[in-house]
Amino acid sequence: MLKAEIYITLKKTISDPQGLTIKHALESLGYKGLQEVRIGKLVTIRLNTGDKKEAKKQVDEMCQKLLANPIIENYSFKIEEVK
Protein backbone atom coordinates (compact mmCIF):
# COMPACT_ATOMS: atom_id res chain seq x y z
CA MET A 1 0.00 0.00 0.00
CA LEU A 2 1.13 3.55 -0.67
CA LYS A 3 1.05 6.32 1.87
CA ALA A 4 1.35 10.02 1.11
CA GLU A 5 2.76 12.57 3.50
CA ILE A 6 1.76 16.05 2.48
CA TYR A 7 3.35 19.16 3.96
CA ILE A 8 1.50 22.45 3.67
CA THR A 9 3.34 25.61 4.62
CA LEU A 10 2.66 29.32 4.42
CA LYS A 11 4.50 30.99 1.55
CA LYS A 12 7.78 32.62 2.46
CA THR A 13 6.42 36.10 1.85
CA ILE A 14 3.63 35.65 4.38
CA SER A 15 4.29 36.32 8.02
CA ASP A 16 3.59 33.45 10.39
CA PRO A 17 2.64 34.74 13.85
CA GLN A 18 2.41 31.19 15.23
CA GLY A 19 5.97 30.46 14.16
CA LEU A 20 7.12 33.75 15.66
CA THR A 21 5.45 33.01 19.01
CA ILE A 22 7.04 29.56 19.13
CA LYS A 23 10.43 31.03 18.24
CA HIS A 24 10.12 33.35 21.24
CA ALA A 25 9.11 30.42 23.44
CA LEU A 26 12.11 28.38 22.30
CA GLU A 27 14.40 31.33 22.91
CA SER A 28 13.05 31.72 26.42
CA LEU A 29 13.99 28.06 26.93
CA GLY A 30 17.55 28.97 26.14
CA TYR A 31 17.78 28.18 22.42
CA LYS A 32 19.26 31.52 21.46
CA GLY A 33 19.84 32.90 17.98
CA LEU A 34 17.30 30.82 16.07
CA GLN A 35 16.97 32.06 12.51
CA GLU A 36 13.31 31.34 11.97
CA VAL A 37 10.47 29.07 13.07
CA ARG A 38 7.55 28.39 10.78
CA ILE A 39 4.50 26.23 11.33
CA GLY A 40 2.76 24.12 8.72
CA LYS A 41 0.35 21.24 8.41
CA LEU A 42 1.04 17.57 7.84
CA VAL A 43 -1.62 15.45 6.14
CA THR A 44 -1.14 11.70 5.76
CA ILE A 45 -3.24 9.68 3.35
CA ARG A 46 -3.27 5.94 2.78
CA LEU A 47 -4.02 5.70 -0.91
CA ASN A 48 -6.10 3.21 -2.85
CA THR A 49 -3.57 2.67 -5.58
CA GLY A 50 -0.30 0.76 -5.67
CA ASP A 51 0.97 2.64 -8.68
CA LYS A 52 3.39 5.42 -7.67
CA LYS A 53 2.89 7.49 -10.78
CA GLU A 54 -0.88 7.41 -10.39
CA ALA A 55 -0.54 8.17 -6.67
CA LYS A 56 1.58 11.22 -7.41
CA LYS A 57 -0.99 12.52 -9.87
CA GLN A 58 -3.86 11.97 -7.43
CA VAL A 59 -2.12 13.65 -4.49
CA ASP A 60 -1.09 16.63 -6.58
CA GLU A 61 -4.72 17.05 -7.64
CA MET A 62 -5.91 16.78 -4.03
CA CYS A 63 -3.49 19.52 -3.01
CA GLN A 64 -4.60 21.84 -5.77
CA LYS A 65 -8.32 21.26 -5.29
CA LEU A 66 -8.59 21.23 -1.52
CA LEU A 67 -5.60 20.66 0.72
CA ALA A 68 -3.66 23.85 -0.02
CA ASN A 69 -4.70 27.36 -0.93
CA PRO A 70 -2.20 28.53 -3.58
CA ILE A 71 -2.72 32.18 -2.67
CA ILE A 72 -1.10 31.76 0.73
CA GLU A 73 0.35 28.24 0.87
CA ASN A 74 2.92 25.98 -0.75
CA TYR A 75 2.78 22.21 -0.62
CA SER A 76 5.13 19.31 -1.08
CA PHE A 77 4.68 15.60 -0.57
CA LYS A 78 6.38 12.26 -0.54
CA ILE A 79 4.87 8.91 -1.32
CA GLU A 80 6.16 5.71 0.17
CA GLU A 81 5.34 2.04 0.41
CA VAL A 82 3.89 0.95 3.76
CA LYS A 83 2.62 -2.34 5.08
Binding site for another protein (CB under 8 A): 10, 14-15, 17-18, 21, 66-67, 69, 71-72
CA atoms of 2 and 80, how far apart (whole Å) = 6
Nearer to another protein, 55 or 67 (CB): 67
Nearer to another protein, 1 or 25 (CB): 25
Rounded to a whole number of angstroms, the minimum distance from the CB of residue 3 to another protein is 19
Write the single-letter amino acid at 10. L
Consecutive H or E run containing 20: helix 17-28
- Burial tier of 35 (Cβ tally within 10 Å: 0-12, 13-18, 19+): exposed
Strand partners, 5: 44, 78
Rounded to a whole number of angstroms, the minimum distance from the CB of residue 9 to another protein is 13
Rounded to a whole number of angstroms, the minimum distance from the CB of residue 79 to another protein is 20
Nearer to another protein, 13 or 35 (CB): 13
